[in-house]
Structure 1
């Protein structure tokens, strides 16, 4: 288990808690807890003295506990799969032709439930 001095030395040298944790073999939230004595999840509001501790990151320490979330807006492999599935389905091909012609102003308008 890393010591407080080890974590604070890395942070004082310019390392983030993510880097310090990786260097010391612990999660970043634990590195923060070791350095400050406060949980990174914000479950302890702390007192005035605690907010002046070395190594304290305010107010966004929560990011040290939760993994980075990636939410891709577009995945080409998924779009390709959907395109292939639609191309293999006669009903979907027919619906796509009707929609395209209705949008272009050619053919009957799209009715609710179509």
Structure 2
């Protein structure tokens, strides 16, 4: 079980929350919560006193729980599917 002391000790060694979470077998956002007492998702208002706690990140703690979204603009698999559907539909062929 991860403790506040364990997390803050690792933070004091210069480790990031991703690495700390992996070492302790918990998600990075949970390691942040255990170490700081603050949710990593940015929920709620953080007071000035809370921002002074050991281990609190100055910004971007939400990235610990919400990885970046990936929105590809195209997919070869979808393009292949569309070509096959068009070939199968006689009315969709050019010249008809």
**TM-score, normalised to structure 2's length?**
0.82
Structure 1 runs of 4+ aligned residues shifted over 6 Å read: none
2:74 corresponds to 1:74: yes
RMSD of aligned residue pairs (Cα, Å):
1.9
**1:1-114 alignment runs, 5 A limit:** 1-94=1-94, 97=95
Where structure 1 has 5 or more consecutive residues not aligned to the other structure, the ranges are 99-114
Of structures 1 and 2, the one with the larger relative CO (CA 8 A, separation 6+) is 2
TM-score, length basis structure 1: 0.71
Larger radius of gyration: 1
Does the aligned pair in 2 maintain the 1:38–1:44 contact within 8 Å?
no
